[in-house]
Amino acid sequence: MNREDSWEVLALDIGGGTQDLLLWSPDRSMENSVQCVLPSPTVMVGRRIAAATRQGLPIFLRGSVMGGGASSRAIKRHLKKGLKVFAEPRPAATLHDNLDYVRESGVVITDQAPPEAVEIRLSDFQEKALNSLFEAFELGPPRHYLIAVQDHGFSPLESNRKFRFQLWEQFLSSGAALETLLYRRVPDYLTRMQAVQQACPGALVMDTGAAAVLGALEDDRLSETPERLLVVNIGNEHTLGAWLVDGVLQGIYEQHTAVITPEKLLADLGRFIAAKISNEQVFADHGHGCLNLAPSRQESPPPLWVTGPRRALLAGASAHLAAPYGNMMLSGCFGLAKAVAVKLPERRSAIEKSLRIG
């Protein structure tokens, strides 16, 4: 079989509904690179669990901690049907970092699979499936892997929503650039990102929200960044608003997409940029939180740019729909690509030539 020479980078943005894939090399334009939108690993795991539920069979979870969402909901439905769930400790943490809570929910934590149980492997990185894709389309393997996931952080004793937003508060206070959230060495408390690196050694990993915002900024229409700018990524599971002043991140608003309506989101965003909604209010509303270090004092609203698979929620609200390189579904991948030019200085010129950034 004839295969392409190795590609420079695979960027994989793993969300709650889709996993978005970008393969590119410096000698190709971004528009002519391989771009895919595929079902997310948690959706695929959820389907496998649902199939076992329909058959009335017990399940055994193996592998590692991964993103929840569809997979966690499928596990809970399985238990609600009175069916058995067995799990190794690492994948059991997908439901909660405190394994005592997981046991109380009805999951039996064990290293041995009962013979009658359907084995289901949990992992955000699906190496076998990706290699099959490369093989089917005669694509050589990439040299570098960039992977984005949303990691709430290890928090066995308090809400992981609260813990995640404490990490955002620390980051905002540091004044660091979003690109620095692309990790070569993952902090110990980011267990989901660590699991990704264990499954894909050498991968650089990043938060999905940060990657999406960076990618949205690659839209040509945003080449001259205004003084005040609000970028919102509306994902299938989470919504993140980033407030930038003079190109510097000054505020974060994070909420679950399921609890918002267009009217509610616009109202929250208006109060967020003016610092008139508190972190506690967003958390009490089932979100993660918000913080704005540089409130807007101007009467005119700032430019609002929206990306993400649920961006249609604000399509009729005088919002600009960001579509970097003509593809808004890959905003996170483009953000990963932008961030890696900072992390891999030895490849910076080649990467920037391909990305048209500088």
pLDDT tens-digit series, residues 271-318: 999 999 999 999 999 999 999 999 998 877 888 999 999 998 998 778
* Distance from the Cα of residue 13 to its chain's centroid: 6
What global pTM score does this model have?
0.92
pLDDT of residue 6: 57
Residues 235 and 315 in one domain: yes
Q: Which domain holds residue 114?
A: 43-122
Are 139 and 34 in contact by the 8 Å Cβ rule? The answer is yes
Among all chains, which residue has been given the structure tokens 């483009």?
334
- Sign, Cα dihedral of 88, 91, 97, 102: negative
Residues 82 and 148 in one domain: no
Residues 143 and 194 in one domain: yes
| Region 157-177 average pLDDT | 94
* Distance from the Cα of residue 258 to its chain's centroid: 16
**pLDDT tens-place string over residues 128-140:** 999 999 999 998 8
Q: Report the percent of the chain where pLDDT is more than 90.
A: 76
Are 23 and 142 in contact by the 8 Å Cβ rule? The answer is yes
C-alpha angle 105-109-113 in degrees, rounded to nearest 5: 125
Are 310 and 257 in contact by the 8 Å Cβ rule? The answer is yes
Q: Three-state SS for 33?
A: coil
Kindly report the number of other CB atoms within 10 A of residue 169's CB atom.
Answer: 15
Confidence class for position 50, pLDDT limits 50, 70, 90:
very high
pLDDT of residue 2: 45
Residues 36 and 173 in one domain: yes
pLDDT at residue 358 greater than cutoff 60: no
Token code pair at residue 239: 């919504």
pLDDT at residue 328 greater than cutoff 90: no
Average pLDDT, the chain: 90
Kindly report the number of other CB atoms within 10 A of residue 220's CB atom.
Answer: 10
Are 60 and 118 in contact by the 8 Å Cβ rule? The answer is yes
Q: Report the percent of the chain where pLDDT is more than 70.
A: 92
Kindly report the number of other CB atoms within 10 A of residue 84's CB atom.
Answer: 16
| Region 328-339 average pLDDT | 92
pLDDT of residue 345: 62
Q: Three-state SS for 249?
A: strand
CATH code: domain of residue 287? 3.30.420
Instruction: Say how far apart CA 62 and CA 279 lie, in whole Å.
Output: 37
| Region 20-45 average pLDDT | 90
Residues 102 and 231 in one domain: no
Residues 118 and 52 in one domain: yes
Is residue 292, in this structure, part of any structural domain at all?
A: yes
Residues 304 and 252 in one domain: yes
pLDDT at residue 225 greater than cutoff 70: no
Domain ends where: 65, 94, 122?
A: 122
Residues 34 and 137 in one domain: yes
- Higher pLDDT: 180 or 30? It is 180
pLDDT at residue 77 greater than cutoff 70: yes
Residues 255 and 106 in one domain: no
DSSP state for residue 265 in the 8-state scheme: H
Confidence class for position 221, pLDDT limits 50, 70, 90:
confident
